[in-house]
Amino acid sequence: MPVQRAEALECFKYEKTLTAKQLSELTKKSVRTCQRLLKELQFLDIIESSDSDGTTAKEYSIKKQYISFFQTTPSNFLSRLKEELENNPREKIAVY
């Protein structure tokens, strides 16, 4: 994953929703760059945007199926994976 996308996703660890302007302030990148990054992440189906009525900025959030990746530590993730492997040794486990 490109570094700029990873930096943008990192911000979602601390904020549930972000606008391009908020992301810009957190990452010290231009608003336009942040708009592009958010659009890319939305195209990749990682984040979703709220419907904007045209008077407010679009808010973006992580899709529900990916939230657990942002709310866990690496050690918790590995523990959970180990547990799954022990319980289902012959099954393939999808790691996203």
pLDDT digits (tens, 9 = 90+) for 9-67: 999 988 899 999 999 999 999 999 999 999 999 999 999 998 767 768 899 999 998 88
Can you say how many angstroms the Cα of residue 74 is from the centroid of all Cα atoms in its chain?
Answer: 15
Q: How far apart are CA 20 and CA 94, in angstroms?
A: 32
Does residue 52 sit in the same domain as residue 88? no
What is the tally of structural domains in the chain? Answer: 2
Residues of the domain holding 81: 66-96
Q: How far apart are CA 68 and CA 22, in angstroms?
A: 22
- Count of residues making up the chain: 96
Does residue 38 sit in the same domain as residue 85? no
